[in-house]
Amino acid sequence: MTALDLSSPVAVVGTGTMGQGIAQVALVAGHPVRLYDTLPGRAREAADAIGARLDRLVEKERLTGADRDAARARLLPAEDLPELADCALVVEAVLERLDVKQDLFRALEGIVADDCLLATNTSSLSVTAIGGALRNPGRFVGLHFFNPAPLLPLVEVVSGFATDVTYATRAYETARAWGKTPVACADTPGFIVNRIARPFYAEAFAVHEAQVADPATIDAVLRESGGFRMGAFELTDLIGQDVNESVTQSVWQSFFQDVRFTPSLAQRRLVESGRLGRKTGHGWYDHRDGAERPEPDTAEQRQPPAYVVAEGDLGPASELLELIREAGIPVRDDSDDDQGACLLLPSGGRLVLADGQTAVEYRDFVYFDLALDYRTAGRIALSASQDTSPQVLAEAIGLFQALGKRVSVIGDVPGMIVARTVARIIDLAHDAVAKGVATEEDIDTAMRLGVNYPLGPFEWSRRLGRTWAYVLLDDLHRRDPSGRYAPSLALYRHAHASDSREGTS
């Protein structure tokens, strides 16, 4: 099956923000669009709101006046479901309740033609379960748009257990014809984005709950070192703590309370207290008028070391050696040392890339966090134990400051902030591919476009090396044997496979 013909009417049931957005996308693409809502008058209000947005597109010269007028003529509110009888596609965007959605599609099945494509925009419910209420679940798919639908390009096209591949293909091609970037996905809790994104929030919250860094510092490290557009705390304040926690709870319960998806108690307390983020004026941060935004912890200026000794291969941090030389600090090479990859400081301390171990295990170790790009990173996090020599820590701080970086010193936490987050994202991505959820390419596309990650998980994996994520998580698991950090079998196989037998991601 190919994309729907533009002459084919498309219906959207549910006229909230998402429903209006999906309707606008189909309308601007050229389809006749029907809007339906169970509340009297809501469909007409939604049509007027869409019309107003079309007017703004004309003002911004993104749409011609003629195209706007033609689109308005194609947009029709419907007062009763039978008015959708001739539609070739019906997309549902109603309340996130299984019984409500099932009742709607049962009713639609008795109204529309037998080949009408039926789609749900659910973000948290099982597509298979919703479609299970139908006599013909083969024509039922998930079309998960991201908010705001007219602006964000990604659409997850979700095949339920009973979805016929021809209808999934039609949904995929139609989304692409609408100017979107579709990715194909099996029906799994959280689909692609909400499944693989869980560690971005969970690890930030876990570091905070361990009392080793505050939200402002963690967010700054994720942005300025990890390259993420927003930190986990500010992003969940924007999304809404209740919304974000609800998705986490749904994925956790759907995976039979898998420890890898365990919700955050600290976030639960925020929700219970009514501090839901921007929409209530307070979440992790105080968003009320006049409130001051907390600053991340930033170390005071320290003197750089007179030199450093490079021992072993620094792997993902190898570019630091060139930066250190450019800063005028001599770098001595001792590649024959068998103590492991590190930078040896004049005081005798060792500066080591976060590896899932803790500083307290070693004498005068200072860990530094992973960076997307050490040259452009604006901030680097360091981790030391209470036993670390103040002189060693001062030299480590001064070294990165000499490279033009702001430095945040956090407590002694294995895997630090960026490193443990990226490792867990890579692990969940490999696990998803192994279980047939989606392809590597579609997962990378989904994570870049759906949540604006600087790299997709497999792009990270190729950059960091085949064994990097596995080794870090295995070390973390030894220190926290709850199972949360146990590497998946898929990641184990990937780490131990030769490049000749598998890809190099």
| Helix extents (H) in 351-484 | 390-402, 418-434, 440-451, 457-464, 468-479
194 is catalytic: yes
- On whether the CB atoms of residues 388 and 349 are closer than 8 A, the answer is yes
pLDDT at 87: 98
What are the C-alpha distances in Å from 59 to residues 101, 149, 466?
A: 37, 20, 50
Element (H, E) at 406: strand 406-410
173 is catalytic: no
pLDDT at 505: 57
pLDDT at 1: 67
505 is catalytic: no
Distance CA 317, CA 352 (A): 9
One of 121, 124, 159, 194 is an active-site residue; which one?
A: 194
E strand residue ranges, 231-385? 308-311, 331-333, 342-344, 350-353, 365-368, 379-383
pLDDT at 498: 72
- On whether the CB atoms of residues 81 and 11 are closer than 8 A, the answer is no
pLDDT at 499: 61
One of 31, 109, 121, 123 is an active-site residue; which one?
A: 123
- On whether the CB atoms of residues 375 and 366 are closer than 8 A, the answer is no
How far from the centroid of its chain's Cα atoms is residue 315's Cα? 26
335 is catalytic: no
Output the pTM of the full model: 0.95
- On whether the CB atoms of residues 318 and 409 are closer than 8 A, the answer is no
- On whether the CB atoms of residues 439 and 156 are closer than 8 A, the answer is no
Q: Residue written as tokens 């970037």?
A: 181
With H, G, I as helix, E, B as strand and everything else as coil, classify residue 408: strand
pLDDT at 333: 86
pLDDT at 337: 53
List average pLDDT for each run of 10 residues in the chain, which is 505 residues long.
93 96 98 96 96 96 95 96 97 96 97 97 95 96 96 97 97 98 97 97 98 98 98 97 95 96 97 97 96 96 97 94 97 71 95 96 96 98 95 98 98 98 98 98 98 97 96 98 97 85 51
Contacts of 482 by beta carbon, 8 Å cutoff, 6+ apart: 259
DSSP string, 43-94: HHHHHHHHHHHHHHHHHTTSS-HHHHHHHHHHEEEESSGGGGTT-SEEEE--
One of 31, 124, 144, 488 is an active-site residue; which one?
A: 144
pLDDT at 300: 97
